[in-house]
Structure 1
Amino acid sequence: MPGSRLLESERVAIERGLDAGLTQAQIAVVLGRSPATVSREVRRGGGKRSARRGVALMGRPRRYRADRAQQFALVRGRRPKPCRVVGALAAVVTGLLEADWSPQQIAAMLPKLFPDDQAMWVSHETIYQSLFVQTRGELRRELAAHLRTGRTRRKPHGTVERRGKLKGMMPISQRPADAEDRAVHGHWEGDLILGAVGKGAIITLVERHSRFVLLAPLNTNHTATDTREQLTALISRLPLELRKSLTWDQGREMAQHAEFSIETGLPVFFCDPHSPWQRGSNENTNGLLRQYWPKGSDLRHVTQAECDAIALRLNTRPRQTLNWQTPAQALDRALLATAG
C-alpha cells in the first residue's frame, strides 16, 4: 500500500531481507515501496546507517530489528501530542492568524521577532496541529477560518482549468527570456477567479518578480469586452516600466487580447493547454484569494475598493519565496534599483 504506513509484516520482511543480504533497493521492489521509505525505516530502526553512529554489545554494528522498529513506530504515532502553543506564544500566534498570516509565515517570522527566546519559536506543523488536531490548548478553533481554505481539517485540493481557442495567440515560448528567471520586474501573470454561475468574477494579476498582486471586479459577467475594459483600466494604473508582458491561459475572456495590447502597450502571451504551472504564481495567488471569496460566492457586488483592500493584505504579508520580504517591499526595491 504505497503512501500508507508500514505494516508490522513489512518490517519483518525488511529484517529478513537484510539478513539475506538484499540491498534496500531490492527490498523496496519486493514490498512495492519507495527505496527512500525502506532506507528511512532501516535508519530509524537502528540498521545499517546507524553503524557509523554507534555500536551495540560485543563491538558489533547495530542491526535492524523488526520488533524494535515496530515499538518505535507505535511510540511516534501516539496521539494526542502535548500542545506547545500556549501562553505568550499562543497570544502572538493568534494575533498573526487573525491578520491572515499562514502558519508557515508565522513560523518563519517568530525567530526574527524573538531572536533570543527559543520558547517563542514553533514550526508551522505544530501550529496546524494546534488548530486541527489538539483537543486542548489556547488556539481557538475558529482561528482556522483565517486560513486561506477556511477548513477545520487539512485536505488536499485541486484546481479545474478552463481552456478555449483564440485567434492570433502568441505562445508562451515567444515570451521574452528575461521573464523566465524572474530577475526583471514588469512581467505579469493573469487569470479570473469565478463566483457562482452568472454571479461575477475577479481579475487577478501577479507580478512575476515580486509576486505583487492587483485585483479588479467583473460584477456582471466576464465577456471578452468586459474583461478587456476592466483589465485595461487596471493596467493603466501602472507606470510604463511595469508593462513588459502578460501571461494568461487560453480562456475565451481574452478573445480581445490584440485590442488590449494596442490600448496598453502590454503584449499577451498564452500558456500551453493544460499547463497551469506556466503561470504558477497566479495559480498560487488565486488559491490564497479563495480565503476571501470561496468557490460559489456571489461576486456581483464586489467593489474596486474591496479588491484593493484584499490586494493590500496579500502585498504586505511576508513570502517564503521572497526570503520573507513582502511583495510590496520586493517591488519597491526592484523599482529603486532600476531608478538608480
Structure 2
Amino acid sequence: MRKFKQLTLNDRLKLEVLLKAKHKPKEIADILHVHISTIYREMKRGTFTALNSDLTTEERYSPDIADQKAKENLAAKGADIKIGNDHEFAERIEEIIINDGYSPAAALAKIRTEKLYNTDICVTTLYSYIDKGVFLNLTNAQLPVKRKEKRTYRKVTQKRASKGESIENRPNDIDTRNEFGHWEMDTVVGKQGVSKKSLLVLTERKTRKEIVILLKHHTAECVVRALNGLERKLGVKFREIFKSITVDNGSEFADYEGMEKSRRSNKKRTTIFYCHPYSSWERGSNENQNKLIRRHIPKGTNFDDKTQAEINHMTDWINNYPRRIFGYQSSEQLYNMEMQQAA
C-alpha cells in the first residue's frame, strides 16, 4: 500500500524535472510515493502558459506557482477558518475523501488515528467548509454519499405464503443485535439484460461484517452452492457463526431447505427467515452495506467482467472502513473480537 506523503516545494521541484524528462504521471506518482490523482491535481495547479523566444506558446508546470497556490488557497478564505494555517491537514482530508472514498466523518476519524496534526474540526464544520468551497480540490461532487433526510417506511403485515419461516416468527433477541451470528442476505445485480453474474451479499447484524460472493448465475442453485462453499471453509463453526439468515422474497432465495440443510451431515445448519414482500427496511444492514458496494461498483456495471479477487479487495475495504455507529471502529475489528471470544 502506498504511504501518504504531502507534497513539499522540494517535491514540486522534482515533479518539474520529471515532467521535463517526459515521465508519465503514473511513473512520477511512484517516484514521489503519492497517489496518481495527486500528480494530476498538481499539474493542473501549477500549469501556466509560457511565451517562447519565437513567440510561440506552450503549457508548462511551475513548482513555485503550484506551491504558492496551495498556501494561498486556505489563507484567502479568512482568519476565522481553523484549517487556514494547516495546509497539510487540509490536503490530507482531501486525499482520504477523494482517493480513498471515505465520507467526511470517516475521514476525520482516520486522520485522528494518524496523530500527525494539531488541527481538529467536527463533522459539521467539515461539511460547512466543503459547501463553502474552502478546499482547493474537494467539492460536494467528490463526496461518496450526499447528506439527505432519513427515509420513512410503511410496515407491511402481509405474511409470506411459502413454506419458509416468516420474519414475524424471528425471535425478538435477534432484533436487538446483541447476539453475534445473525445475518442478512441479499443480492446485487449487474447490468440488466447483460450480466449473468451477480453478487451474494451477507451482512452480520451485530458487527456489520460483510461477505460478498460472486455468483456465476442469479439462481437459487448458485446461492445454495455459495453457502455450501462457506460451510466447507468453516466446517463445524458454520453453525455457530450463521445462527440465522434473513432474506427477501427473491427467486434466488426460494430454496430455503437447500440453504438451511448442511452438506456435511444433512442436518439443519442455520435458520432462514423471510421478510415481508416489499419491505427492504427489514434488512436495514444489507441496504446500508449495499450503498458501500455501489461506491466501488456503480449501477449498470457488467459483473461478468469481475473476478472474485476484485470483489474480495472491495470487501476488505468495506470491512475495514471506520464506522460511526461503532465509534469509528471497523466491522473487521469487531468481528475478530467476537471470533476470539467464541474460540
Under TM normalisation by the shorter chain, which class is it?
0.5 to 0.7
1:208 is the counterpart of 2:205? yes
Mark the runs of 5 or more structure 2 residues left unpaired by the alignment: 1-76, 153-157, 264-268
2:214 alignment counterpart: 217
2:274 alignment counterpart: 270
Aligned sequence identity (%): 28
* Residue among 295, 312, 319 paired with 1:315: 319
1:237 is the counterpart of 2:233? yes
Residues in 1 aligned to 2:137 and 2:124: alpha-carbon distance in whole angstroms: 14
Q: Retained in 2: the 8 A contact 1:164–1:251?
A: no
1:102 is the counterpart of 2:97? no
Residues in 1 aligned to 2:161 and 2:212: alpha-carbon distance in whole angstroms: 24
Residues in 2 aligned to 1:276 and 1:326: alpha-carbon distance in whole angstroms: 24
1:248 is the counterpart of 2:243? no
CA distance 1:176–1:136, change in 2 (3 Å): closer
* Residue among 146, 165, 170 paired with 1:170: 165
Q: Retained in 2: the 8 A contact 1:212–1:327?
A: yes
Q: Which amino acid aligns with 1:195?
A: G
Q: Which amino acid aligns with 2:258?
A: E
Residues in 1 aligned to 2:81 and 2:325: alpha-carbon distance in whole angstroms: 29
Q: Which amino acid aligns with 2:191?
A: A
Q: Which amino acid aligns with 1:323?
A: G
Aligned length: 249
* Residue among 135, 145, 152 paired with 1:137: 135
Moved more, 171-180 or 183-192: 171-180
Q: Which amino acid aligns with 1:281?
A: S
Secondary structure of 1:291's aligned partner: helix
Residues in 2 aligned to 1:215 and 1:138: alpha-carbon distance in whole angstroms: 36
CA distance 1:84–1:222, change in 2 (3 Å): farther
Residues in 2 aligned to 1:196 and 1:158: alpha-carbon distance in whole angstroms: 26
Q: Which amino acid aligns with 1:105?
A: A
Secondary structure of 1:263's aligned partner: coil
Residues in 2 aligned to 1:158 and 1:282: alpha-carbon distance in whole angstroms: 15
1:6 alignment counterpart: none
Secondary structure of 1:100's aligned partner: coil
Residues in 1 aligned to 2:147 and 2:171: alpha-carbon distance in whole angstroms: 39
1:189 is the counterpart of 2:184? yes
Residues in 2 aligned to 1:137 and 1:195: alpha-carbon distance in whole angstroms: 35
Residues in 1 aligned to 2:141 and 2:229: alpha-carbon distance in whole angstroms: 36
- TM-score, scaled to structure 2: 0.63
1:303 alignment counterpart: 307
4+ aligned runs moved over 6 Å, structure 1? 80-83, 155-159, 163-166
Give 1:85 deviation, angstroms.
Answer: 5.1
Residues in 2 aligned to 1:206 and 1:338: alpha-carbon distance in whole angstroms: 19
CA distance 1:321–1:138, change in 2 (3 Å): same
Q: Retained in 2: the 8 A contact 1:148–1:292?
A: no
CA distance 1:195–1:129, change in 2 (3 Å): farther
Q: Aligned-residue CA RMSD in angstroms?
A: 3.2
CA distance 1:309–1:203, change in 2 (3 Å): same
Per-residue deviation, residues 155-175 of structure 1 (Å, max 9, x unmatched): 67989xxx9977311011222
Q: Retained in 2: the 8 A contact 1:85–1:137?
A: no
Residues in 2 aligned to 1:234 and 1:127: alpha-carbon distance in whole angstroms: 42
